[in-house]
Amino acid sequence: MNIQKIISSASIGKCVLLAVATAMLVLSGCSSKKATVSFKVNSQPEGSHVLFKASGKDLPCSDKWIYLGNTPLRGVHQFSEKQLENTGKITMKVMHDGYRDQTRQWDGPSFWEEAEGRGVIFWTPELIPSTRQ
């Protein structure tokens, strides 16, 4: 009789484990998918400052410049697919004292297409000396 109770308990445990595993799979399918975007920014001259701005609804820090670092720059940023779909414009800016700023813009879907197609967002602007004195 003890053996039947042990077998019965094991069967119940397997059913509970299967139910939990199934629930986890269903819930993970409902969550927002993440898009990981790698980027590399070089510049002439090196040591230029790189900034990033995204505009659109439901974006954290929408329309605010975010400083990423100096060139040469390597980085990774994660977006949810919903964020990329709702992004109106993504802008990167490279600045260096004595040179004109350079910018590059995408909309959310074209940004993701380039990142996915190439495996990276790659940009190497050659900055133009400023004529300001």
Q: What pLDDT, in 10s, does the model give residues 55-66?
A: 877 677 778 898
Q: Are 99 and 132 in contact (CB under 8 A)?
A: no
pTM exceeds 0.85 for this model: no
What are the pLDDT digits (tens) for 41-89?
A: 999 999 999 998 988 776 777 788 989 999 999 988 887 777 777 788 8
- Domain boundaries, given as residue ranges, for the chain: 1-31, 34-123
Query: Beta strand 121-123 with 34-41: parallel, antiparallel or unpaired?
Result: parallel
**Residue 21 backbone dihedrals phi, psi, to 5 degrees:** -60, -40
Residues 99, 126 contacting (CB under 8 angstroms): no
CA distance 125 to 45: 9
